[in-house]
Amino acid sequence: MVEVDDSKKMTLEFRPMDSVRWETLSLEISELESEQSLLDAMDKLVSDQQAATVGRSVIFRLSLFGRGPLHQSLIRPEFIEDARQNINEIWSQQFPFLW
């Protein structure tokens, strides 16, 4: 928002107008020991993102990084697809939604 007073002094104030945000979320996985701990960490990350959006929905890309015990799970295509579907099923039903 731009306001101009009588002396032509301008004041700028950012006011978000978006209804959906696009984000990239990152999760470090080297300390995670099990598939369930990964799913829990992903859920917490998405929950934290929802709290930070101030009522706006989010479409996000989730990047996993690090090396550790979960490598064998992550190279199985069905594990990644199941985790993605699980997150989307839970969070797409929330308000604001996350996908």
Whole-number mean pLDDT of the chain?
94
Q: For a pLDDT cut of 90, what percent of the chain falls above it?
A: 86
pTM beyond cutoff 0.75 = yes
Average pLDDT value for residue range 31-40: 95
Beta bridge partner(s), residue 12: 2
The pLDDT score that the predictor gives to residue 16 is 86
Among 43, 42, 46, 41, CA closest to 97: 46
| 81 Cα distance to chain centroid | 17
Contacts of 66 (CB under 8 A, 6+ apart): 28, 29, 30, 31
